[in-house]
Amino acid sequence: MENVFTQKPAPILDHPDYVVGEGVDAMCLTFKVVMPSHLTPILEDMSTRAKGCLERMLQDRTLRSSKSYKEIPCVLAKSLISKYQRNKRLKEVKNLVLPICGDKGRQVKLVQGGIRVPALFKKEIIVVSLPKPIIGFIRQVEFFKRGKVWYMSYSYNTLTKPLSKIRGFLGVDRNSVGNVATIADSKTGKVLKLGPSTAGLSYNFRRRRANLQRKKATGALKKLRRKQSRRTRDINHKVSRTIVDYAKIHCSVLVLEDLGKIGKKGKSRRYVQKSQWSFYQLQSFIVYKATLLGIPVVYIDPAYTSQKCSRCKNINKSNGKRYKCSKCGHFDHRDANAAFNISTLGYEFYGRALIDSDIGAGTVGGPHNWRI
């Protein structure tokens, strides 16, 4: 009897029923767009009505049914209850966000040229772009106002790339001196220093804020803070892109320090207050970019990574940016030495598990994270 095998057709990523019963490696992406001017009056009116409902939600938390808030659409009331009323610690909302759950395409519809939100705008199409292929439906949209401009953020799932063959470990030292991050490849010996001086950049903004505070220029002070936030985000995006692209080209695992408690006590607290840099934001950018490309991210204990010699493992204190081992005489930049130590620790703890095993790219929300 002859065996006949039929090849299963390739799935269509933007088909709404593709993920039903299927196990896929995916992650959630969020983008935002400026709302068209002819739709802003609707949002202004809806925001005013939602604020009145929200006050009642926070005053009487037993009113958990959308039927108690007939001034606004049912789907909006349910989303406000889930976002604000269920948060028992929440007492006041200063910047109201209007969330709409996608409900598997029932409330947020993906159409040709954009998306529709019938509960608010009937048949009006909001033009959006999907930089990555979509899996399933638009998960959620949120409408919010910044200044005089209304924005819409939209979230959806996209596939991650499968994990490529691992050939090395790339150490990333984020709290480096004079740069945002320093990376070191223990296999090739290459060192890259990325980004400007965080201390110098933060000092410049801190001095400008102090001058505006003395003049009591509140409006200019808010504008300067937003500018600093945008500058920090832009630099972190560029640095994280360089790190992830290097890891992808060289098939390397990204090794990060677990800095969960940095800034809470000791010298690290004084350093963070001085630099005022968002190291966690940089970490989140690295993680989600690595997820899309199928690059594993692992974490190691940061203890003594800056004091341990990357060659003989002897403990020494650095002199500023200079590191010299008193035992073997190894001389190096302090951050480069720390990055090599991070790379070595990553290989020692996870080398066998990652190189000898066939590991997937990760699940929704991020890659596989191994911790000590």
Position 315 in a domain:
yes
Residue 43 and residue 130 in one domain:
yes
Residue 177 and residue 142 in one domain:
no
Above 90 in pLDDT, residue 289? yes
Above 80 in pLDDT, residue 359? no
Residue 128 has what pLDDT?
94
Question: Band of the pLDDT at 175, cuts 50, 70, 90?
Answer: confident
**Cα–Cα distance measured from residue 212 to residue 286, given in angstroms and rounded to the nearest whole number:** 34
The pLDDT of 114-141, averaged and rounded, is 93
**Cα–Cα distance measured from residue 363 to residue 290, given in angstroms and rounded to the nearest whole number:** 12
Position 30 in a domain:
yes
The pLDDT of 121-137, averaged and rounded, is 91
**Cα–Cα distance measured from residue 310 to residue 347, given in angstroms and rounded to the nearest whole number:** 13
**Inter-residue contact 282 to 236 (CB < 8 Å):** yes
| Mean of per-residue pLDDT scores for the chain | 83
Q: For residue 345, which amino acid is it?
A: L
Position 94 in a domain:
yes
**Inter-residue contact 35 to 151 (CB < 8 Å):** yes
Residue 301 has what pLDDT?
87
Alpha helix (H) residue ranges in the chain: 40-59, 74-80, 118-121, 198-214, 218-249, 266-275, 279-293, 334-355
Residue 68 and residue 145 in one domain:
yes
Above 80 in pLDDT, residue 266? no
- Three-state SS for 267? helix
Residue 127 and residue 203 in one domain:
no
Whole-structure pTM value = 0.77
Domain boundary among 99, 131, 159: 159
| Ranges 1-10, 36-45, 309-318, most confident | 36-45
Residue 282 and residue 330 in one domain:
yes
Above 90 in pLDDT, residue 116? yes
Q: CA 340, 341, 346, 348 torsion: positive or negative?
A: positive
The predicted-structure confidence for 5-25, as pLDDT tens digits, reads as follows: 333 333 444 444 444 455 567
Residue 319 and residue 182 in one domain:
yes
Residue 351 has what pLDDT?
75
The predicted-structure confidence for 194-253, as pLDDT tens digits, reads as follows: 988 888 888 888 899 999 999 889 889 999 999 999 999 999 999 999 999 999 999 899
- Three-state SS for 184? strand
The pLDDT of 29-57, averaged and rounded, is 95
**Cα–Cα distance measured from residue 152 to residue 98, given in angstroms and rounded to the nearest whole number:** 9
Residue 192 has what pLDDT?
92
Domain boundary among 130, 159, 188: 159
Residue 196 and residue 337 in one domain:
yes
Residue 81 and residue 149 in one domain:
yes
Share of the chain above pLDDT 70, in %: 83
For 88, residues 6+ apart whose C-beta sits below 8 A from its C-beta are 61
Residue 176 has what pLDDT?
67
Domain boundary among 141, 159, 177: 159
Residue 172 and residue 300 in one domain:
yes
Question: Band of the pLDDT at 268, cuts 50, 70, 90?
Answer: low
Domain containing 219: what range? 168-370
**Inter-residue contact 172 to 183 (CB < 8 Å):** yes
Q: How many domains does one find in the chain? A: 2
Structure letter (DSSP) for residue 72 = S
The pLDDT of 71-92, averaged and rounded, is 94
Residue 230 and residue 349 in one domain:
yes
The predicted-structure confidence for 46-78, as pLDDT tens digits, reads as follows: 999 999 999 999 999 999 999 999 999 999 999
Above 60 in pLDDT, residue 273? no
